[in-house]
Amino acid sequence: MAFEFHLPDIGEGVVEGEIVKWKVAVGDVVKLDQPIVEIMTDKATVEIPSPRAGTITAINYKDGEICPVGKVLLVIDDGVAGSAKPAAGNGHGHAKAPEHSPAPQLQLAGNLPESLPVTRAAIEVVDATASRGRVLATPATRRLARQLGIELGRVAPTGKRGRVTTDDVKQYGAAGSTVAIPRLTESVLPALPAAKSFAPQAIAVGGDEERIPLRGMRKRIAESMTRSTHTAAHFTYVEEIDMTELVAVRERAKARAADRGVKLTYLPFIMKAVVSGLKKWPMLNASLDETTQEIVRKKYYHVGIAAQGPQGLVVTVVRDADRRSIFEISKEIERLGDAVRAGTATREELTGSTFTISSLGKLGGVLATPIINFPEVAIIGVHKIEEKPAVRGGQIVIRQLMNLSISVDHRLADGWDGAMFLQDVKTLLEDPTTMFMEMV
């Protein structure tokens, strides 16, 4: 006969539990007290045993879903004709233990050798795995982490016996940590936050002022930047690049480039290094399809160049950058720049980039945290090259140094991806001969 097992009240103040992992499936035959499911609550990670022997006929909640206390967790057919009716509630919708079986036992996670009775004093939070493969945290903490785009596995726990608390997640998010984290799983993707909306803010007159209508290109830039900052979970990683060798290479190549009518800048070299890095770290050349909740890894390389135009920030697109030579990229960058200044750039020349390079040229400054060009996953900021003292071989020497900063959407790419990508770019720029060996 069917026996409905309701999620019991397994701790003071517990109102729900997150299904960590089912140990059984529909159709399985279980024994009395056989472990059937791991559940994470506000108080503990517990392993719930079967209250009866029989066959599993229904499982009402999937891994990762939240089951409220008192709701039917699963149904067991105990095969006993005329046995007790489906468990009646105790006034709160909780299942009563059948008279012919002992009270349900809860075993704490971590494969402990013995079970503990269901008492509030017995519920403790313990580290489920020494490797942090499964992190201990309450459902509320997990929801907050999903909303902030934070992987719990890289948050330092301060709770009892290794539990990650809500304050831990908030502090981690506030710090803007760039520590490498595991990639998002399918169970996390549906919970990705949508862009926020805010009530319009009126600005009172405070004196002599000028009011300019927000329209056209400036309005489009405002909307794009706002959407990006409130959709992508930004983090920034910075690396210093020794450009001395590349400066020399460019200087030697300038005359040959001029003979071909090419104005050779550093951007084509940087673009080739970026494309090489994207091929090794494809998650940075991707987008999130929010309608289907799919990560789209792109196998084409349309690199955007974010630069200041007559009407504001404009991203021109060098299509198929992986198939072009450095001289060809130089010509295309110059052609696109001329089109923007003349106001003749087409929609195709201004849209469709898969990764963006932001550069202010000689005004590049020391460091910046560029905003991702939505819906891309990352953007790299190029800063000015300056002669600075550096230590080489135990000696202080003058080198041509530059900073590169990369902002990455932490929802889709890990800190490890961003850091390793920039390290690969650094390697190619610091030793340009490797760039040609890579044949990117």
* Interval 396-411 mean pLDDT: 94
Q: What is the mean pLDDT of the chain?
A: 78
Confidence at residue 1, expressed as pLDDT on a 0 to 100 scale: 78
Give the residue carrying structure tokens 């770019």: 425
Q: Report, as residue numbers or ranges, the catalytic residues.
A: 410
DSSP track, 167-202: HHHHHHHHHT-----PPPPTTTGGGPPPPP------
* Interval 230-253 mean pLDDT: 91
Which residues does residue 409 pair with via DSSP β-bridges, in sequence order?
234
Three-point CA angle 34, 40, 41, nearest 5°: 115
Q: How buried is residue 273: exposed, middle or buried, by Cβ count under 10 Å (0-12/13-18/19+)?
A: buried
Residues of the chain above pLDDT 70, percent: 75
Give tens-digit pLDDT for 111-128. 333 333 333 333 222 232
β-bridge pairing 303-309 and 355-359: parallel
**What is the C-alpha separation between 40 and 128, in angstroms, rounded?**
11
Confidence at residue 216, expressed as pLDDT on a 0 to 100 scale: 57
How many CB atoms sit inside 10 A of residue 412's CB?
25
Phi/psi for 89 (5° steps) reads: -75, 160
The region of weakest confidence among 43-47, 348-352, 388-392 is 43-47
Confidence at residue 249, expressed as pLDDT on a 0 to 100 scale: 94
For 426, how many CA atoms within 13 A lie in the half-sphere containing its CB?
18
**What is the C-alpha separation between 241 and 427, in angstroms, rounded?**
9
Q: How buried is residue 52: exposed, middle or buried, by Cβ count under 10 Å (0-12/13-18/19+)?
A: buried
Is 421:280 a contact under the CB 8 Å cutoff? yes
Confidence at residue 181, expressed as pLDDT on a 0 to 100 scale: 33
Query: Among residues 107, 65, 104, which one has the least CA distance to residue 87?
Result: 104
pLDDT at residue 43 tops 80: no
Residue 425 DSSP symbol: H
Is 301:322 a contact under the CB 8 Å cutoff? yes
Query: Which amino acid, 433?
Result: T
Which residues does residue 241 pair with via DSSP β-bridges, in sequence order?
402
Helix 267-280, helix 415-430: angle, nearest 10: 140
Q: Is 21 helix (H, G, I), strand (E, B) or coil?
A: strand
Split at pLDDT 50, 70, 90, the class of 150 is confident
- Per the model's pLDDT, the better-predicted residue between 119 and 211 turns out to be 211
Element (H, E) at 308: strand 303-309
Give the residue carrying structure tokens 């044949």: 439
Give the residue carrying structure tokens 């309701």: 6
Confidence at residue 7, expressed as pLDDT on a 0 to 100 scale: 87
The region of weakest confidence among 66-70, 190-194, 259-263 is 190-194
Is 36:30 a contact under the CB 8 Å cutoff? yes
Element (H, E) at 275: helix 267-280
CA dihedral 362, 364, 365, 370 (to 10 degrees): 180
Element (H, E) at 316: strand 312-318
Which residues does residue 391 pair with via DSSP β-bridges, in sequence order?
396
Is 381:405 a contact under the CB 8 Å cutoff? yes
Residues of the chain above pLDDT 90, percent: 37
Three-point CA angle 299, 305, 311, nearest 5°: 135
The region of weakest confidence among 143-157, 271-285, 327-341 is 143-157
**What is the C-alpha separation between 435 and 440, in angstroms, rounded?**
7
DSSP track, 201-218: ------SS-------HHH
Residue 89 DSSP symbol: B
